[in-house]
């Protein structure tokens, strides 16, 4: 009987203990008393919405005047470098092609004649031909070879200009002309997206916009799944946008399995920095502003603060506190709002 009474007394004593007393020395720091604010080191990171887009679209121009024929390129088509997308034709072009082809055939005939003449002079030397005639025959062959090379280069240029070829491998994004349309030299016929020239473009705001720098590394995580892509900031795009944001372009580190138009989150890793730090439970959110209760000689003071990075349950305070001050952590939210009941007026 005595043992049962003793057990009940122990249980009653534990129930009546003040909150936190049973925790003993193992209680978290600041559980029952204000915590002293100290400087802590935090690794910073910048996060923004990002979109994969081409650094610049590659244009496909018309090299000569003509009429677009045999055009097969369509938006969304994947093409290889050098692939024929269409041709340019027309009366003026046909005349130029015919004249260039005739000049090439004439140069070939002239070289053949010069070589046959050289062979005859070589066979009759020195009985009939002399050294001067042999030198002249050899010089004629050299001139004919040079003329043929020039004619071939001209033919390659003229015949190739009629073919519209893809300058890079990529995807056709848009078409600016239709088949049968007359075009002038320099007219943009189509645009291509080169997959090797894509980057992730993002806009940072506020403090992050001031901290982002070229060379920072991070990760682009696609919004709809897929492997994160390691990236590096290639350029910070100036000037600051009208809305206060600063745009950056990030190129992949190594090979990237992403496509144009893909959206996701860009997270950049910044340098470590030190700030006054408080436990997370010391922060109180009121409306859109954060506060802490600062314990001082005259009592507890509500202090507006600007939280920063978080690590291991501690939050950096970038504005509003300094090292050495003490903040309330035990029931901070309830103690912050303890005067609300005094100002409450019941409805009639």
pLDDT tens profile 79-90: 999 898 988 877
Is the C-alpha dihedral spanning 275, 276, 280, 283 positive or negative? negative
Domain ranges for the chain, please list them: 47-56+196-272, 63-186
Query: What pLDDT sits at residue 2?
Result: 46
Look up the CATH superfamily of 47-56+196-272: Efflux pump adaptor protein, beta barrel domain (2.40.30.170)
pLDDT at 30 over 60: no
Residue bearing tokens 């919405």: 49
Band the pLDDT of 16: cuts 50, 70, 90. very low
Classify the phi-psi angles of 140: left when phi > 0, otherwise alpha if psi is within -120 to 50, otherwise beta: alpha
pTM: 0.54
Tokens of 294: 């600062």
pLDDT given for residue 50 in this prediction: 94
Write out the E strands in 134-226: 163-165, 170-175, 182-183, 188-193, 198-204, 217-222
**pLDDT class of 92 with cuts at 50, 70, 90:** low
Q: Is 44 or 21 the better-scoring residue by pLDDT?
A: 44
User: Residue 55 CA to chain centroid, in angstroms?
Assistant: 8
Question: SS3 of 91, please?
Answer: helix
């Amino acid at each position: 009987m005595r043992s049962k009474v003793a057990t009940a007394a122990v249980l009653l004593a534990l129930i009546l203990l003040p909150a936190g007393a049973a925790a003993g020395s193992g209680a978290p720091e600041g559980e029952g008393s204000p915590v002293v604010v100290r400087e802590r080191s935090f690794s910073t990171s910048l996060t923004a919405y990002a979109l994969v887009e081409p650094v610049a679209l590659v244009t496909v121009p018309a090299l000569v005047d003509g009429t677009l024929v045999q055009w097969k390129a369509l938006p969304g088509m994947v093409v290889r470098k050098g692939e024929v997308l269409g041709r340019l034709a027309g009366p003026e072009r046909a005349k130029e092609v015919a004249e260039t082809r005739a000049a090439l055939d004439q140069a070939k005939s002239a070289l053949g004649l010069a070589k046959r003449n050289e062979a005859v002079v070589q066979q009759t030397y020195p009985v009939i031909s002399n050294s001067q005639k042999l030198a002249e025959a050899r010089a004629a062959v050299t001139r004919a070879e040079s003329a043929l090379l020039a004619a071939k280069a001209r033919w390659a240029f003229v015949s190739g200009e009629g073919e519209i070829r893809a300058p890079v491998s990529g995807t056709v994004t848009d078409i600016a002309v239709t088949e049968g349309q007359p075009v002038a030299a320099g007219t943009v016929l189509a645009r291509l997206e080169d997959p090797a020239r894509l980057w992730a473009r993002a806009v940072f705001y506020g403090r992050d916009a001031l901290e982002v720098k070229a060379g920072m590394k991070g990760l682009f995580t696609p919004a709809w799944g897929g492997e994160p892509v390691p990236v590096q900031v290639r350029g910070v795009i100036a000037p600051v946008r009208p809305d206060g944001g600063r745009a950056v372009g990030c190129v992949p580190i190594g090979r990237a399995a992403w496509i144009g138009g893909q959206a996701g989150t860009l997270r950049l890793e910044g340098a470590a920095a030190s700030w006054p730090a408080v436990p997370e439970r010391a922060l109180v959110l009121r409306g859109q502003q954060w506060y802490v209760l600062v314990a001082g000689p005259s009592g507890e003071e509500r202090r507006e603060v600007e939280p920063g990075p978080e690590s291991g349950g501690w939050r950096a305070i970038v504005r509003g506190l300094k090292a050495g001050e003490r903040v309330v952590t035990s029931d901070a939210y309830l103690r912050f709002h303890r005067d609300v009941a005094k100002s409450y007026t019941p409805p009639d």
